[in-house]
Amino acid sequence: MVEIEKQGTPTVLIVSGRFEHDARASARAFAMPGIRYVVVPWIYRNLDLDRTLQQTEAAFDPLVGELTGDLQSLVQNIQLSPTRVERFEGTGYLEALQSMNREFLDRDWGDGFPLMPATASEVDRMLQGASLPADHVVCDLPPGYGLATVGKIAINSVMAGAEPEQMPVIIGGLKALSQMDPEWVKSLLTSTSSHASMLLVNGPIAKELQVNSQAACMGPGRQNRANLAIGRAYTLCLKNIGHWYPGQLDMDVLGTVRKFTVCIAENEDASPWEPYHVEQGFSAGDSVVTVFSTSGEIDVADQGNNTAEGLLKTIGYNCIFSQWDLVRQGRDEKGSAWNTIVLVTPDIARHVKEAGFTKQDAREYLHGLAQYSLGRMVHYYPLEGKPLPEEWQWLQDLSEQELHDTWVPVREKADDYVLLCVGADRAKPIVIPSRPACPQSVCVDPYRAG
């Protein structure tokens, strides 16, 4: 709508009920606060024909009214609130802290867990971990494209309970997110599906910060102090700088615990492979953070295979649960954006390496195994009457049974499998479908103090 208006054509948006707040927030984010829209009660995506016609016909007169109404009444003066120092009082520190947390949660500035107070002294302490001044703009942070200054990142990092030495990774993670393709990152953050970021830390800084790469590295507990603080700071920055609030830009239907952002390190000491950041062109001595898009996970249990082929088959057979998007498959000029991340435990990686498989060999092997019924994979996207890329139009000539009898790879190519050596010894890898944004990696060394 914004792009059409830029070309000089007046537009009015049809908004399904629960998306009204999101429409206004999105319009502000994309510099068109004077949005004109008409609200209809039901979401069109899964609506039957009768209700589709009913609500659209009822919206016709209001649409005409918006198009022909007084434009001057839509002009809104955007006034930025001045910087404020919030003050909370109580009979003691604990009561004041509880008052702050209640107020901040009511404003949706937190993640539901207790926040630490970002006092001036604590923010100054946090800034000591970064090489950049407080007013330095790191990026325009999606999805709302607020200006992510080092000072704002420090404030949210204090509230998250992070430490100053973790600032470079937090800054790098936000920078990496901002470098994703705008269309893909918009889908990652604002989709109605349960997409979420995952942070991977590589290089010397992972050990320095004690980012857990071994047992239970994706869970709670004292072993994950750094993992949790970095992931939480990243999340709070998305909310309070990127305006990523539920019902406003974040339109997830169900949500997911993965939105309490997972941060892990690769187990480089136990891995027989070169680490992920080296695969991406960095040197082994670089400290790097990578942002992945995730849309689920499956715990893969192997109960006795002790050959590389057997272990890889168990993983490959568990890579088939992802939907296969025939509209986008193979059509992204920047490379396929639909990946499968496999967190391979060290003992599996060693078996694969000792059997003579390179990492690329392992990818090829998984790609050959991970095939599934085309009819089942495209059931979520009924083909009849749908616009399809030319190379897939032949699907519309097949019967439902023929579709079910046609098996295809669930990913376009072997390179769409990202293999990361993570965790402790035991054949219990995790498979994570990654869609819809390509991973982005950033070297964090330039952000380190000193």
- pLDDT, greater one: 196 or 29: 196
Give the integer Cα–Cα distance in Å for 240 and 111.
11
Per-residue confidence (pLDDT) for residue 330, from 0 to 100: 45
* pLDDT tens sequence across 315-338: 999 998 766 665 555 444 444 458
Per-residue confidence (pLDDT) for residue 18, from 0 to 100: 80
What's this model's pTM, rounded to 2 decimal places?
Answer: 0.90
Mean pLDDT of 235-240: 97
Comparing C-alpha atoms, which of 139, 141, 193, 205 is closest to residue 167?
Answer: 205
* pLDDT tens sequence across 246-294: 988 999 999 999 999 999 999 999 999 999 999 999 999 999 999 999 9
Sheet containing 440-443: give its strands across: 262-265, 196-202, 288-294, 440-443
How does the average pLDDT of the chain come out, rounded?
Answer: 90
> Which 8-state DSSP code applies to residue 448?
B
What are the boundaries of each domain within the chain?
2-74, 93-274, 296-434
Comparing C-alpha atoms, which of 185, 179, 136, 193 is closest to residue 290?
Answer: 179
Per-residue confidence (pLDDT) for residue 436, from 0 to 100: 65
How long a stretch of residues is the chain? 450
Mean pLDDT of 44-48: 84
> Which 8-state DSSP code applies to residue 130?
B
Give the integer Cα–Cα distance in Å for 290 and 341.
13
Mean pLDDT of 113-122: 97
- pLDDT, greater one: 179 or 378: 179
Asked whether residue 80 carries a pLDDT value surpassing 60, the answer given is no
- Of the ranges 47-51, 148-152, 305-309, 436-440, which one carries the lowest mean pLDDT score? 436-440
Give the integer Cα–Cα distance in Å for 232 and 236.
6
* pLDDT tens sequence across 357-386: 999 999 999 999 999 999 988 888 888 878
Per-residue confidence (pLDDT) for residue 298, from 0 to 100: 93
Listed ranges 37-51, 302-316, 430-444; the one with the highest mean pLDDT: 302-316
User: For residue 217, which phi and psi values (nearest 5 degrees)?
Assistant: -70, -15
Mean pLDDT of 421-439: 90
Would you call 13 helix, strand, or coil by DSSP? strand
Listed ranges 66-75, 307-316, 325-334; the one with the highest mean pLDDT: 307-316
- Of the ranges 59-63, 235-239, 430-434, which one carries the lowest mean pLDDT score? 59-63
Tracing tokens 């537009």 back to the chain, one arrives at: 11
Listed ranges 8-12, 31-35, 83-87, 315-319; the one with the highest mean pLDDT: 315-319
Q: Are 404 and 374 in contact (CB under 8 A)?
A: yes
Q: How confident is the model at residue 83 (pLDDT cuts 50, 70, 90)?
A: low
Asked whether residue 77 carries a pLDDT value surpassing 50, the answer given is no
225's CB contacts (< 8 A; 6+ apart) are 210
Q: Are 426 and 347 in contact (CB under 8 A)?
A: yes
Asked whether residue 450 carries a pLDDT value surpassing 90, the answer given is no
Per-residue confidence (pLDDT) for residue 336, from 0 to 100: 45
Q: How confident is the model at residue 82 (pLDDT cuts 50, 70, 90)?
A: low
